[in-house]
Structure 1
Amino acid sequence: MLTDNEIKIIKASTPALAEYGEQITGRFYQILLAKNPELKNIFNMTNQKSGNQKQALAMAVYAFSKYVDNLSVILGDVERIAQKHASLGIKAEHYPLVGSALLEAIEEILNPGEEVIAAWASGYGILANVFIEREKALYEENAQKAGGWSDTRDFIIVKMHQETPLITSFYLQPSDQGVVSEYTAGQYISIYLQPEGQAYQQIRQYSLSGAFDKKGYRISVKKELNDQGEGLVSNYLHSQFKVGDTVKVTPPCGEFVLQKTDNPVVLISGGVGITPMQAMLETLTQQTESREVHFIHGAQDRQHHAFKNELDLLVEKQKVDAHCFYQQVDTLSSGEYQGLIDIQKIHNLLPAGAEYYICGPVVMMKAIYQQLKDLKVSDEQIHYEVFGPNKSLA
């Protein structure tokens, strides 16, 4: 337990962290990776280049300082990070390395004095123990499930299917031909690989994009490359892998899952953000109990709408009501709209008391979140996942 004085000291750091947080976390990663280069096999170095990782960590450190006297406020963030750590293979022995680098960065940037550093050391120790215990439990849960395992397991690509010009689905089955553990729609797996010419292993998380079929897993990967280097692994998967190749896979993880309620469901996605939504849609429409489901998707055009044929078939069977927004379209069919997703255009068609799930580009998600808030939808009814380091939509 932290003392009252340690809590007071940490909370007093909040304004400084708001101003210098990203400078501290940027320096933290420099120190950590310089002293422990083997950790480059775990950390996403693309996110290091783009600055996304230091921004996400700065937000987390700031939140800890702000709510250190009421940590229940950030329990959701703790669970999200613990799930991510479990998919990356983070272990208890990594935490002292991280703590040492973080304290060194705080001291270097802020020079706050020994008492402040000591308080932060105590605070970090408590937070680290929370993560260590939760991640230990996750490793044990994943290993003890029917068909479960710990660390990585070899899977064979048994099928590849091009969903759009940029998105390809990879169907994976275990090379040992054993049972695979069940997952909850919305979860993801991590793929471990080392592209040619890269000095370090690359780990990426990909949402499972279909309902569990007891045979294996499906991920649907968008091929992309921009000036920040994003797309290194996705391009490698698209260009170098073929049916019969093997990839290393972690057990399913993630807390962005369907809530166990009887409420109507509205699934909202943009672009490749459709992947976890497709898993949710397939799961919901396969269930025996009746539950009202609406599917809202935004894409560049019909050609870039992944799983469109599957959606059309479900609409035909009256399993789901679909609302598709296309930025480029010549003629509109029933349930189609021109432009970006606009909830105002269809809100009269959506059920009261629904649970909303959102996934897609951050700009799109922020816009959808604000639209839902304008319609007086409560935060308790809104669930979302941001690909990459977490960003708040509020």
Structure 2
Amino acid sequence: MLTDNEIKIIKASTPALAEYGEQITGRFYQILLEKNPELKNIFNMTNQKSGNQKHALAMAVYAFSKYVDDLSVILGDVERIAQKHASLGIKAEHYPLVGSALLEAIEEILNPGEEVISAWASGYGVLANVFIEREKALYEENAKKEGGWLDTRDFTIVKMHQETPLITSFYLQPSDQGTVAAYTAGQYISVHLHPEGQEYQQIRQYSLSGAFDQKGYRISVKKELNAQGEGLVSNYLHDQYKVGDTLKVTPPCGEFVLQESTNPAVLISGGVGITPMQAMLETLTQQAQPRDIHFIHGNQNQQHQAFKTELDSLVTQGKVKAHCFYQETTAEGEHKGMIDLQKISDSLPAGAEYYICGPLAMMKAVYQQLKTLQIADDKIHYEVFGPNKSLA
């Protein structure tokens, strides 16, 4: 437990963290990885180069300082991070290393004095224990469930299917031919691999892109092509792996899941953000009690929309109502441009739950549109690929 004085000191740090947060977290990662280079086997070094990781951590540290006297406010963020940590294999022994580097960075950038550093040491200890206990529970839960396991398990690629020019689906089944753990639509798995020519292991999370079929998992990976260095692993998977090859996989994790509800569901995605939505869509349409389902998707054109044939079939069967927005379109019945909920607001069902996944800019735009439509935050669920960022 923190003392009243420690809480007061940490909260008083909030303005400084708002101003210097990214400097602190940037220096933190430098210290941490210089002193513990083995952690490069866990951290996504591409996100390190892009600055995404330090931005996400700065937001988390800032939120902790702001709500240190009422951590219930950030429980959703804590759960999201704990799920990600469990998929990466973060263990209790890593937390002292992180704490030491963080305190050193705070002292170096802010030079706030011994009393402030001491308060932050206590605060970090409280937060670390929250994560350690939650992640321990997740590891135990994943290991004990039917078909579950701890750490990584070998899965064989039994099928590969090209969904679009850039997206390929990999169908994975346990190499030991044992049972496989069930998952909730919206969750992801981590793939651990070591590309040729790279000094360290690479870990990436990929959404499970189909309803659970008791046989294995499907991930649908976009071959990233950009100047920020992203795409090391996705290109390696596309170019080097084939049917019969083996991948090391962690148990399904993630808190962005299809809620148990009978309310209408509106699934909104952009680009490769369609992957968890496809799992949700397949799961919803297989339920015994049919629900009012709306599928909204934005993309460059039909050619780049994964699972288009499957969606068209479900629409024809009357199981789902679809609205597709394309930047390039000439077909009748399609919407031109970015996703615009105002254009289809009359068809959106009352009392619906909304799920969003896609590029950050698209998600922020959709979130603002939902707020304009007076949709409450507790009805909006979302996932950001990569380091967590807020849509508000």
Taking structure 2 as the reference length, the TM-score comes to 1.00
Superposed CA offset, 1:287-323 (max 9, x none): 0102100000011001001000000000011000000
- Displacement of 1:259 in angstroms is 1.0
State the distance in 2 between where 1:16 and 1:63 align.
12
SS of equivalent residue, structure 1 residue 93: helix
The reply on whether 1:338 has 2:325 as its aligned counterpart is no
Find the counterpart in structure 2 of residue 76 from structure 1.
76
Find the counterpart in structure 1 of residue 133 from structure 2.
133
- Displacement of 1:72 in angstroms is 0.1
The reply on whether 1:147 has 2:147 as its aligned counterpart is yes
Runs of 4+ with >3 A deviation = none
- Displacement of 1:90 in angstroms is 0.2
SS of equivalent residue, structure 1 residue 247: strand
- Displacement of 1:124 in angstroms is 0.2
Find the counterpart in structure 1 of residue 257 from structure 2.
257
SS of equivalent residue, structure 1 residue 215: coil
Find the counterpart in structure 1 of residue 379 from structure 2.
381
State the distance in 1 between where 2:284 and 2:58 align.
37
State the distance in 2 between where 1:317 and 1:228 align.
42
Q: What is the one-letter code of the residue matched to 2:185?
A: A
Find the counterpart in structure 2 of residue 48 from structure 1.
48
Q: What is the one-letter code of the residue matched to 1:84?
A: K
Any stretches of 5+ residues in structure 1 without a counterpart?
none
State the distance in 2 between where 1:84 and 1:208 align.
15
Please tell me whether the aligned partners of residues 188 and 205 of structure 1 are also in contact (alpha carbons under 8 angstroms).
yes
Superposed CA offset, 1:218-277 (max 9, x none): 000000121110010000000000000000000000000011111100000000000000
Q: What is the one-letter code of the residue matched to 2:350?
A: A
Q: Alignment length, in residue pairs? A: 392
SS of equivalent residue, structure 2 residue 117: helix
Q: What is the one-letter code of the residue matched to 1:100?
A: S
State the distance in 2 between where 1:341 and 1:226 align.
23
- Displacement of 1:331 in angstroms is 2.1
Find the counterpart in structure 2 of residue 204 from structure 1.
204
Find the counterpart in structure 2 of residue 355 from structure 1.
353
SS of equivalent residue, structure 2 residue 189: strand
Please tell me whether the aligned partners of residues 225 and 232 of structure 1 are also in contact (alpha carbons under 8 angstroms).
no
Q: Percent identity?
A: 84
Find the counterpart in structure 2 of residue 372 from structure 1.
370
Superposed CA offset, 1:346-369 (max 9, x none): 010010010000000000000000
Superposed CA offset, 1:103-159 (max 9, x none): 000000000000000000000001000000000000000000000000000000000
SS of equivalent residue, structure 2 residue 212: coil
Find the counterpart in structure 2 of residue 219 from structure 1.
219
State the distance in 2 between where 1:85 and 1:370 align.
29
The reply on whether 1:234 has 2:234 as its aligned counterpart is yes
Q: What is the one-letter code of the residue matched to 2:380?
A: I
State the distance in 2 between where 1:53 and 1:313 align.
40
State the distance in 1 between where 2:121 and 2:198 align.
35
State the distance in 1 between where 2:384 and 2:290 align.
29
Find the counterpart in structure 2 of residue 101 from structure 1.
101
Any stretches of 5+ residues in structure 2 without a counterpart?
none
Find the counterpart in structure 2 of residue 57 from structure 1.
57
Which stretch has the larger CA shift, 322-331 or 157-166?
Answer: 322-331
Q: What is the one-letter code of the residue matched to 1:298?
A: G
State the distance in 2 between where 1:110 and 1:48 align.
22
Q: What is the one-letter code of the residue matched to 1:277?
A: M
Find the counterpart in structure 2 of residue 195 from structure 1.
195
State the distance in 1 between where 2:178 and 2:259 align.
29
The reply on whether 1:27 has 2:7 as its aligned counterpart is no
Find the counterpart in structure 2 of residue 67 from structure 1.
67
Taking structure 1 as the reference length, the TM-score comes to 0.99
Q: What is the one-letter code of the residue matched to 1:363?
A: A
Superposed CA offset, 1:194-229 (max 9, x none): 101000000000000000000000000000121110
Superposed CA offset, 1:144-195 (max 9, x none): 0000000000000000000000000000000000000000000000000010
- Displacement of 1:330 in angstroms is 2.0
- CA RMSD of superposed structures (Å): 0.5
SS of equivalent residue, structure 1 residue 172: strand
State the distance in 1 between where 2:236 and 2:152 align.
20
SS of equivalent residue, structure 1 residue 9: helix
